[in-house]
Amino acid sequence: MHALARIARLALPVRGALGLALLAGAGAAACGIAPTAISAWLVARAAEQPPILSLMVAITAVRAFGIGRGGLRYLERLLSHDAAFRVLAALRHSAYARLERLAPSGLEAFRSGDLLARLVLDVDGLADLWLRVLLPYAAAAITAVGVVAFLWHAVPAIGGTVVASLLLAAAGAPLVVNTLTRRAERRIAPAQGRLAALAHDLLAGAPELLALGATPRQLRRFADLDADLASAEGRAASGAGAATLLAGLASGGATWVALFLGVAAVRAGMLDGVGLTVVVLTTLVAHDLVLDLAPASQHLPGLSASAERVLRVLDGVETAHEPESPAALPVGPYGLRIRGLCVRYPASARDVIAGVDLDVAPGGRALVTGPSGSGKSTLAAVLLRFLDPSAGSIELAGSDATVALSSLAGEDVRRAIGLCEQDPHIFDTTLAENMSIARPGASADEVREALRAAQLLDWVDALPAGLDTPVGEHGARLSGGQRQRLGVARALLAGFPVIIFDEPTEHLDEREGAAIARDLLAATAGRTVLVLTHRPELAGAAVWSTSVDLAPRG
Amino acid sequence: MDGAGASALRTALIALAAVFAGRAIAGWAQQAAAYRASVSVKSNLRRRLVERVATLGPRWSSRARSGEVVALATRGLDALDAYFARYLPQLALAVIVPIAVVVALATSDLLAALTVALTVPLVPAFMALVGIASERSTRGRWHALARLAHYFTDVVAGLPTLKVFGRSRAQIERLREVTDEYRRESLATLRVAFLSAFVLELLAALSVALVAVGVGLRLLHGDLQLRTALFVLLLAPEAYLPLRQLGLHYHASEEGLDAAGDALRFIESGPGPAGPRLPVPGLRDGELRVEGVTVVHPDRDLAAPQRASFGVRPGEIVALTGASGSGKTTLLQVILGLWPPDSGRVVIEGRGGVVDLDQVDGESWRRRVAWVSQGPFLTPGSVAENIRLAAPDAADIAIAQALASVGLGDVDRSMELGERGSGLSSGQRRRVAVARALLRPGTELLLLDEPTAGLDAASESAVLSAVVSAARTRGLAVILVAHRPASLAIADRVVPVFAGRGVTGTLTPHAETGCAPESAPAGVPEDAR
């Protein structure tokens, strides 16, 4: 419930709208009860045949309340939904902002299907916290105070009975039900997360799973998880019914007792016939206030589980630490000085990189070789401050100063040092928009120049839609080599002073690879370049100012 | 009150208690049953949806955006709760209750019964009008959520890339736009729903007022007894209540139905069930022939591959080469039976004659084929579990041997991998996939899509010699997509693959792809044979 309290506090910025919604909701609830009470009075009083004028006020009031109830309810729903959606949008923003800080290595604690479930679906469900729990309870409480005061004034014992039964229906029933279904409810959100993660996996690997003959087994796993979810939902469902049962019993019981006490009061001369009618019917409709509360509050444990899942993202631990007061970024061109660098992943017992030294002069070309798994991509992650080294130092040498990489803000580091990833993410949009991620204001000529250097321009020009061609999810409509070259073109366009190419010639044959290596070195003339590769032929493709081999020694 | 009155009162009170208890129990039973029905329908749709999308094959599944499908399978279908648990029971009540109330009223006060009978039909009439107006906006809400899910998945997957380019913060703005759009579309739908509920409420309130005022006035003139008047007044609102509630739940249920409709569209999309299928002939003493296979990508005015033709026999290694985008990967998927070609065919020629791949059952065909894709699929779990995806019964020792044979002897098979095999470098991932393919029982044809990309020379030669030994000693037919000399060197034949202009269907090779090598270059560094 602590998690829910934290989420509930997120609504503080929209408290004005929520307050108005609360008033409208309480008003609507009151308007729902009043017509019945007044009608009862009207009918009972009319039987005594008073002059018509004395009834006109009541007749008009019944109508007014009927209309007022609809209008206020409309207002309440509009205000509360708008406010709740605003809170959710804010929650999504902060979650994304957190993910942005965590990426990429801190994200490995989550699976992407599960992240989707947390940030889109769990968050969407949290709207119910305000819409179906907090606001309805508060509105019902306000109205109930008025109703109980009225009944207390008429017959104190009936007022007391209604207090007891309303509490029973609004708080007792959910309490009983929660103890019954708490475990089932709390299972639902994680089960949905697991289901989403597996579904995501199944879809991402669909063709290969089919080919491996593994689809039926994975589908059976899906069916198992699904059965798990269905059983949790089924248990929770019987709880929903139980809450309704208890609320119904409380409502019926209270009305019955009110009738009993009312008859006694009439006998004792405390109440007349008109009063009895009004009091008993008011008791009956007063319970409409809480009839929907019990089934809604039953979802509290589920909401709390969702809240915890969302908060776990917000509280994720960073794997790279920002300096408290970052140093200023020196002026380029930049060189790099790496001494005794060791890197170890948090959960691992072994250094991925152990004691690497490397000097790259401004404008120099460094070749970093090593077999697969020797830590080349890890080196790139450390240079971009995605990961903290466990020992050793990296210095960025500018023309005016030399500073330790760890003293710079991560964003500044990435302004100076760029990366062409080994497996660049291609966004599900057009070629042009994928390019503009590198440099939003780039001119058409600059984009074409980058594409030409990556040997992609002829292909793009041959496309009927050219740069406006959509590339599909994860670039599914491109071949592996085209994705690679799009990544290279993007990195070239960005114009980083220091640029790291991680296996830039993968998925390309030797001739294409050598051509790209030549072109990208030409296109980055004057800039500092690191090429990470396992392909020995690249060693001969250019004149390297320095080189280092990451192959494990001994 | 006298004794008889008190006893009548007691009887009435007891009866009333029974009625209240019965009402509460009926409410409980109705909710529990409705939710259970919803749970089982959702579960059924969810399984069928995922099964369908997972088995559609790349040609269709590449059009399904994974984030949208996942959102549909979870939250989208959840909206069915409202349909089953609230709308359907309410629909039954909305039919039965008004009729029952009118009949009951008619027994005591014909005029009130007539008033109710005339005004009740107005409610569904108005609902239908509002329903027609709001149908389009309901679609908006669900689709906006699906778009949000897709956008989110794409951006989070691309966060490292965005961060490299310093654009990850800028996406917060874009996220604001997308979430705002979601909020606006949701509210637009809900506004219609709330407005229609308001109209219905108003209609019901006015109708009840009409009855109440009539009753009050007639009571005033002494035309009506108090008992009858009370009865009418209490009963009349009950005629409208289920209809009002129906209006309230109509829009929530609409959303669920919309999601269910989307799920069913997926389930029914793609190719229908196949007709009678021929048994798959063994490849052991035959040949697999690719005859003029062309796959057209109309949106890119491209045929890739264009008229690919070659054959492969057991024990033979064929290398496919060609520039990126020439359709090598697609060709492998055609051979797997996952992508029906637009023209040409793949045949298996055995002792029993020639059988078109089109005619055989895809699943039993794929039982004889092992495939290593360009970005091999690895799932969170241990290395051994990933290998057992293809070879469920493989013993630990066999897994260790297979890993060692591809140069991964130092990788712990119980090592836990993250998503998409994180924890291993991309070259290691590829080799795990090769080990997996080699271990797969019953394989006759091995398809390898750049198995040595990302590998250093030593690992490359380990992988290639494992492939050669699979071909020579186990008699597997091997088709290999390759770029590099070492891979080309182990091939018995090198087949160039070309792309061409798709729509015009000319024979001229695509400008960029006319330069694929016709055979293995001379002077290859290693020969694994």
DSSP state of A459: H
Q: How confident is the model at residue A317 (pLDDT cuts 50, 70, 90)?
A: confident
Cβ-contact B288, B477 below 8 angstroms: yes
What is the rounded average pLDDT of the residues A514-529? 85
Return the CATH superfamily for domain B41-265.
ABC transporter type 1, transmembrane domain (1.20.1560.10)
- Residues A131 and A206 both lie in one domain: yes
The 3-state secondary structure of A78-129 reads HHHHHHHHHHHHHHHHHHHHHHHHHCCHHHHHCCHHHHHHHHHHHHHHCHHH
Helix (H) or strand (E) holding A243: helix A215-267
Residues 447-466, chain B, touching A (beta carbon < 8 A): 447, 450, 453-459
Q: Give residue A544's pLDDT.
A: 83
**Rounded CA gap, A102 and A386, in Å?**
9
Residue with tokens 């989707």: A116
CB pair distance less than 8 Å for B74 and A86: no
Is B32 in contact with A237 (Cβ distance < 8 A)? Answer: yes
Contact check, Cβ <8 Å, B66/A204:
yes
Three-state DSSP at A426 gives coil
Band (B520; pLDDT cuts 50, 70, 90): very low
Smallest Cβ distance to A245: which of B13, B28, B175?
B28
| A262 in the same domain as A173 | yes
Cα(B25)–Cα(A153) distance, rounded to whole angstroms? 33
Tell me how close the Cα of B465 comes to any Cα of chain A, in angstroms. Answer: 18
Q: Are residues A496 and A447 in the same domain?
A: yes
The whole-number average pLDDT for the span A109-132 is 82
Of B23, B71, B201, the CB nearest to A73: B201
Rounded mean pLDDT of B45-68?
A: 77
Together in a domain, A305 and A340: no
**Tally of domains within chain A:** 2
> Are A384 and A272 in a shared domain?
no
Closest-CA distance of chain A to residue B353, Å: 25
- CB B453: neighbour CB atoms within 10 A? 27
What residues of chain B lie within 8 A of the CB of A438, using their CB?
165
pLDDT average, residue stretch B285-311: 85
Residue of B nearest to A62 (CA): B209
Which positions in chain B touch A77 (Cβ < 8 Å)? 190, 194, 197
With a cut of 50, say whether residue A198 has pLDDT above it.
yes
Are B41-265 and B287-528 the same fold in CATH? no
What is the length of chain A? 554
Q: Identify whether residues A268 and A344 lie together within a single domain.
A: no
Under an 8 A CB cutoff, do B70 and A200 touch?
A: yes
Res. B65 pLDDT band, cuts 50 70 90: confident
Determine the pLDDT at residue B517: 34
What are the CA-CA distances from residue A80 to residues A69, A75, B144, B181, B270 (Å)? 16, 8, 20, 18, 42
For residue A362, pLDDT over 90 is answered with yes
**Residue A163 within any structural domain of the chain:** yes
- Same domain (yes/no): A9, A133: yes
The answer to whether residue A330 sits within a structural domain is: no
| Range with top average pLDDT, A75-79, A106-110, A316-320 | A75-79
Q: Is A323 part of a structural domain of the chain?
A: no
Q: What is the share, in percent, of chain B residues with pLDDT greater than 70?
A: 88
CB contact under 8 A, A104 and B31: no
Q: Give B25→chain A minimum CA distance, Å.
A: 6
Q: What is the CATH number of the domain that holds A474?
A: 3.40.50.300
Task: State residue B511's pLDDT score.
Answer: 34
Q: Given an 8 Å threshold on Cβ–Cβ distance, is A211 in contact with B370?
A: yes
Q: What is the mean pLDDT of residues A394-416?
A: 92
| Residue A554: pLDDT over 60 | no
Closest residue by Cα to residue B365 from A210, A206, A208:
A210
Average pLDDT over residues A251-266: 90
Q: In this structure, is the dihedral angle defined by the CA atoms of residues B147, B153, B158 and B162, taken in order, positive or negative?
A: positive
Looking at the structure, tell me whether residues A380 and A306 fall in a common domain: no
CB-CB neighbours of B394 under 10 Å: 20
Higher-confidence residue: A35 or B372?
B372
pLDDT score recorded for residue A1 = 66
Question: Nearest-5° angle of CA A478, CA A480, CA A481?
Answer: 95
Select the residue of B28, B54, B485 nearest A206 (Cβ to Cβ).
Answer: B54
Mind telling me how many Å the CA of A484 is from chain B's nearest CA? 10
Taking CA–CA distances from B35, the nearest residue in chain A reads: A237
**Band of the pLDDT at B275, cuts 50, 70, 90?**
low
Calculate what percentage of chain A has a pLDDT beyond 70.
98
- Test B20 with A252 for CB contact under 8 angstroms: yes
Instruction: Please tell me whether residue B394 adopts helix, strand or coil conformation.
Output: coil
The verdict on residue A162 lying in a domain is: yes
Contact B236, B98 (CB under 8 A): no
- Report pLDDT for A203: 82
Q: How far apart are CA B247 and CA B126, in angstroms?
A: 10
pLDDT tens by residue, B176-208? 888 888 888 888 878 877 887 888 888 887 888
| Domain locations in chain B as residue ranges | 41-265, 287-528
Answer whether residue A327 is part of any domain: no
Flag if B21 and A249 touch (Cβ within 8 Å).
Answer: yes
Closest by Cβ to B61, choosing from A63, A203, A534: A203
Residue A466 domain boundaries = 335-549
Reported as a pLDDT band with limits 50, 70 and 90, residue B12 is: confident
Listed residue (B330, B127, B154, B163) closest to B246, CA to CA: B127
d(CA B200, CA A521): 72
Average pLDDT (A144-153) is 94
pLDDT at residue B137 in the model: 58
Question: Considering the domain boundaries, does residue A90 fall inside one?
Answer: yes
Q: Is residue A98 part of a domain?
A: yes
pLDDT for B62 equals: 61
Other residues' Cβ atoms within 10 Å of the Cβ of residue B492: 15
**Across the interface, do A425 and B160 touch by the CB < 8 Å criterion?**
yes
Interchain contact, B230 vs A43, CB within 8 Å: yes
Q: What is the pLDDT of residue B16?
A: 86
Q: Which fold has domain B287-528?
A: Rossmann fold (3.40.50)
Q: Is B99 on the interface with A (CB under 8 A)?
A: no
Q: Which of B87, B69, B67, B68 is nearest to B79 (CA)?
A: B87
Residue spans of alpha helices (H) in B158-281: 159-164, 170-220, 226-268
Structural contact between residues A111 and B419, judged by C-beta atoms closer than 8 angstroms: yes
Q: Which of A38, A49, A120 should one mutate to test binding to chain B, selecting the residue with the greatest count of B CBs within 10 A? A: A120
Question: From the centroid of its chain, how far is CA B264?
Answer: 10
Q: What's the pLDDT score for residue A309? A: 86
Q: Is the model's pLDDT at B148 over the cut of 60?
A: yes
Q: Which residues of B touch A63 (CB under 8 A)?
A: 205-206, 209
DSSP code string of A19-71: HHHHHHHHHHHHHHHHHHHHHHHHHHHHTT---THHHHHHHHHHHHHHHHHHH
- Helix, strand, or coil here: A533? strand
Q: Do A121 and B440 touch (CB under 8 A)?
A: no
Residue in B491, B473, B470 with CA at minimum distance from that of residue B482: B491
Other beta carbons within 10 angstroms of residue A92's beta carbon come to 23
Each residue of A487-511: pLDDT tens digit?
999 999 998 999 999 988 877 777 7
The predicted pLDDT at position B290 comes to 93
* Count, residues in chain B: 529
Cα B515 → chain centroid = 40
Q: What is the pLDDT of residues B420-474, one digit of tens each?
A: 777 788 888 899 999 999 998 888 999 999 888 878 888 889 999 999 999 999 9
Cβ-defined contact of B50 to A199 (cutoff 8 Å): yes
Report chain B's mean pLDDT, rounded to a whole number: 81
Shared domain for A307 and A381, answered yes or no, is: no
Once rounded to an integer, what is the mean pLDDT over residues B302-317?
90
The average pLDDT across A141-145 equals: 94
* A102-134: burial string, b at 16+ Cβ within 10 Å, e else: bbbbbbbbbbbbbbbbbbbbbbbbbbbbbbbbb
Condensed to tens digits (0 to 9), the pLDDT of residues A164-185 reads 999 988 888 888 877 888 888 8
C-beta atoms of A81 and B190 within 8 A: yes
Mean pLDDT across the stretch B14-28?
87
| DSSP letter, residue A327 | B
Name the β-bridge partners of A396: A336, A403
Sequence letter at residue A25: G
pLDDT band at B86 (very low <50, low <70, confident <90, very high): confident
pLDDT, one tens digit per residue, over B361-371 is 888 888 889 99
Higher pLDDT, residue A236 or A74: A74
Spatial neighbors of A16 by CB under 8 A, at least 6 apart, are none
Q: Among all chains, which residue has been given the structure tokens 């109209």?
A: B199
